[in-house]
Amino acid sequence: MFYKLPSFEYFKARSVGEALELAGKIGDYRFLAGGTDLLVDLKIGRYKPRAILDIGGLRELSYIINDGSRVRIGALTRLEDILRSSVVRERLPLLHEAVYNMASWQIRSVATIGGNIANASPAADTAPPLLVHDAIVKTRSVRGERAVRLEEFIQGPRRTLLEPGEMIIEFEVPVSPGLEEYWAYRKFGRRSAFTLSVVGLAVGAEFHEGSPVFKVSLNSVAPKPVRARTVEEYLKGKTLTDSVIETASKIVQQDISPITDVRATAEYRRHLATVLLKDALKEIAGRLRR
């Protein structure tokens, strides 16, 4: 079967301001950043916009800034730039590890972090580490700017809080010393590399008054990437003993609602969530004992 792009008008924005102005005038459009998801969606007929608004060349939205207690990442920062960034590697190792396990370098060289989140796939690989860090999504329109917690921003499959004429500008990612050292990332796919997640998982530990506070997030196990709040609540004030880890890895079932699709059954995803969480918590427990 052959697929082809539908007909559309093409506009290339030269600045963020021009992009927002065009978006307001056009109405029926899709932003084009890296295009790794959008072009496929256009070919299969998922979207049939009147216009494509190309924002991929807006270098003003491509940056990684080490800003004290946070790291700021522009929405059009390429995944390959994130992977190569010493700031991300040292301050956001969970995000570095997730991007390292994403796609091929050819795709990472054009795909953007903003596109990965705006696409709102349940399998978005940058989402779990960003959720563990309580990342903030900053958006802009001709009406002004706003900041939304990532956990609220993604509403479901291909649904976000973005309003017409609004675009993602930046991700503000809080950083704590604990998350720079005590973390674990797991991804299981149908291949060993260049694959979509069957289940992905990020775990990190922050410290409050000397005690670890654990944060857990998963993708591909619910309509959107999720925080495992039941697990987090159970782990409060506890030491990661074998019995605690065993219980936590079972409790995660309360936080997920996987489906069966071409990559895996819901039952298998539930099994993987338990196995991967147990393995990740054991890794962090080992680091905490050192």
- Sketch the domain layout of the chain as residue ranges: 9-54, 59-174, 177-289
Give the pLDDT score at 85. Answer: 99
290: confidence class by pLDDT, cuts 50, 70, 90: confident
Beta-bridged to residue 218, according to DSSP, are: 201, 226
Give the pLDDT score at 163. Answer: 97
Beta-bridged to residue 219, according to DSSP, are: 200
88-129 pLDDT, tens digit each: 999 999 999 999 999 999 999 999 999 999 999 999 999 999
Q: Is the confidence at residue 138, as pLDDT, over 80? A: yes
Q: Is the confidence at residue 136, as pLDDT, over 70? A: yes
Q: Residue 156, class by beta-carbon neighbours within 10 Å (0-12 exposed, 13-18 middle, 19+ buried)?
A: exposed
79 close to 111: Cβ distance less than 8 angstroms: yes
Give the pLDDT score at 193. Answer: 64
Q: Which CATH superfamily hosts domain 177-289?
A: CO dehydrogenase flavoprotein, C-terminal domain (3.30.390.50)
- In angstroms, the CA 182 to CA 283 distance is 9
Distances in Å between the Cα of 227 and the Cα atoms of 90, 107, 192, 261 are 23, 27, 25, 22
Give the pLDDT score at 235. Answer: 98
Q: Is the confidence at residue 1, as pLDDT, over 60? A: no
- In angstroms, the CA 220 to CA 17 distance is 35
**What mean pLDDT do residues 257-275 have?**
98
Report the CATH number of the 9-54 domain. Answer: 3.30.43
Placement of tokens 């299969």 in the chain: 44
33-78 pLDDT, tens digit each: 999 999 999 999 999 999 999 999 999 999 999 999 999 999 999 9
Tell me which residue of 64, 112, 62 sits closest to 90, measured CA to CA. 64
pTM: 0.95
Q: Is the confidence at residue 190, as pLDDT, over 70? A: yes
Distances in Å between the Cα of 201 and the Cα atoms of 256, 261, 281 are 12, 19, 11
Mean pLDDT of the residues in the chain: 96
Domain made up of 59-174: CATH architecture: 2-Layer Sandwich (3.30)
Q: Is the confidence at residue 202, as pLDDT, over 70? A: yes
Residue % of the chain over a pLDDT of 70: 98
Tell me which residue of 76, 25, 33 sits closest to 50, measured CA to CA. 25
Half-sphere exposure of 121 (CA within 13 A, CB side): 19
Q: Where are the beta strands (DSSP E) in 5-164?
A: 9-12, 29-32, 51-54, 64-67, 70-74, 136-141, 144-149, 154-156, 159-160
| 59-174 and 177-289, same CATH topology | no
